[in-house]
Homo-oligomer: A and B are copies of this chain.
Amino acid sequence: MSATTRMRVGIAGATGYTGCELVRLLARHDRVTLVGLAHGPGSPDESMSTLFPELAGLCDLPVGDLATLLATPLDAVFLALPHCAAMAAAAQFLARKVRVIDLSADYRLRDARVYAATYATPHQDPANLAHAVYGLCEHYRAQIADARLVANPGCYVTGALLPLLPLLKARLIDPQRLIIDAKSGVSGAGKKVAPGLHFCAINESFKAYSVFTHRHAPEIEQELSVAAGAPVQVVFTPHLLPIQRGILSTMYVESIRPNMSSELAAAYHAAYGNEFFVRVKGADATVELQHVTHTNFCDISWFVRGTQLVITSALDNLMKGAAGQAVQNFNIMTGCAETTGLI
């Protein structure tokens, strides 16, 4: 593909937080022409910049219905739709030979039964599910390059997997003792209008939620189990931070021998030494949300006391946790430099 060719790209579900972030990223992507935006069912047709005055001058495209987007010639489409809605749309785009990056949960869980149990609805598209590639860029890059359908990972999931996978794969930690205490900004909860998301319900407050019941746990466990070579169950506790964006995860893990900090460093550098978007900050380093918000980076550090490990990671839930990683997946799929549109 010539360096000057631009690909025709659409976004379905352009009006949520994630969709809006995708618009912002793709509007300035050198190799992309945004040719169509669709809203979710029941929304009115308006221009993107009417709906989001912040985008005036950056993206003034109309936002129409899904049928119109399906009828538009596209090289690739990003789906930022709710689960269920995403799989209905994905199947139609794939049938039209459009490559799909799906940001919903619909193709993340390989086992349709786990999907049904987690999302309380049967999977509608097992045929495509069988071919979907899990879009954790740094761990599935080769498969992503050839994929027709990429399932972009969950935000909490990315923050847990990037630090834990290299340690599990290198057999440095006990897979039966994994605790993930995660704290997320509010944009991770989406745009729905609910009493619990009122400014005054969140500002100057903090709480845990969905303890033992959050839908990202099975997704985390799926990938950790692959790495561990055996079923893994995690304790995963999400919390709601009174900030706009960012996920900081504090993980409590046990190493197989005491004082393995140098082995950890080696495993991380083997996994991420050549990765642009994963920054291994080292032992005893402070990672903080301010270092990663509005970027596609995930920062990682660790602390060791005997066999006790505390591992911290930080990322922006709308970027590396959603739209940013989706664009990174697109870049891999289309042979663009991986940082295109992301720095």
A residues sitting closer than 8 Å to B (CB atoms) are 17, 28, 53-54, 56-58, 179, 181, 183, 186-187, 191, 193-195, 197-209, 211-212, 235, 237, 239, 241-244, 246, 248, 250, 252, 276, 279, 281, 284-295, 297, 299, 303, 305, 308, 310, 312, 314, 343
B235 touches A205 (CB 8 A): no
Partner of A54, one of B56, B206, B292: B292
Contact among B206, B242, B303 with A212 in the assembled complex (CB-CB below 8 Å):
B303
A204 CB → nearest B CB, Å:
5
Across the interface, do B200 and A289 meet the contact criterion of CB distance under 8 Å?
A: no
Flag if B204 contacts A290 (CB, 8 Å): yes
Number of copies: 4
Asked whether B193 lies within 8 Å of A206 as measured between CB atoms, the reply is: no
**Interface of chain A: mostly helix, strand, loop or mixed:** mixed
| Cα of A312 to Cα of B238 in the assembled complex, Å | 12
Bound-complex Cα distance A310 to B181 (A): 10
Contact assessment for B276 and A244 in the assembled complex, using a CB-CB cutoff below 8 Å? no
Q: Are A204 and B248 in contact (CB under 8 A)?
A: no
Q: What is the CB-to-nearest-CB distance from A155 to chain B, in angstroms, rounded to a whole number?
A: 15
Give Cα distance in the complex from A291 to B250, angstroms.
24
Contact yes or no, A53 B299, CB < 8 A:
yes
Give 30 pairs: A residue, B residue, CB < 8 Å, sorted on A: A17-B200, A28-B343, A53-B286, A53-B299, A57-B279, A57-B297, A179-B252, A181-B250, A181-B252, A186-B200, A187-B200, A191-B198, A193-B194, A197-B200, A199-B242, A201-B290, A204-B289, A205-B243, A205-B246, A205-B289, A205-B293, A206-B243, A206-B246, A206-B288, A207-B248, A207-B314, A208-B287, A209-B286, A237-B250, A239-B248
Given A181-B250, A205-B289, A206-B248: A310 in contact with B235 (beta carbons within 8 A): yes
Give complex CA distance A276, B60 in Å.
13
Contact between chains at A248 and B17 (CB < 8 Å):
no
Complex Cα spacing A296 to B94, Å: 38
With A54-B295, A235-B310 as contacts: A244 and B207 at CB distance below 8 Å: no
State A199–B244 Cα separation when bound (angstroms): 8
Given contacts A237-B250, A244-B200, A244-B203, contact A208 B310 (CB under 8 A): yes
Contact for A243 among B179, B203, B211, B250, CB less than 8 A: B203
Chain B residues with CB under 8 Å of A297's CB are 56-57
- Knowing A54-B295, A56-B279, A297-B57, the reply to whether A286 touches B199 (Cβ < 8 A) is no
Q: How far is the CA of A153 from the CA of B115 in the complex (A)?
A: 47
Contacts of A202 in B (CB 8 A): 199
Which residue from chain B places its CB closest to the CB of A290 in the assembled complex? B205
B291 close to A54 (CB less than 8 A): yes
- The residues of B that contact A243 with a CB separation of less than 8 Å are 203-206, 242
Chain B residues lying within 8 Å of A17, measured Cβ to Cβ, are: 200
Please give, as numbers and ranges, the residues of chain B lying within 8 Å of A194 by CB-CB distance.
193
Chain B residue at smallest Cβ distance from A308: B235
In the bound complex, CA of A40 to CA of B194 (Å): 19
Q: A53 touches which one: B195, B237, B291, B312 (CB < 8 A)?
A: B291
Partner among B181, B279, B299 whose Cβ is within 8 Å of the Cβ of A181: B181
Contact A193 B200 (CB under 8 A): no
A53 nearest CB neighbor, chain B only: B291
State the CA gap A216–B204 with chains docked (Å).
24
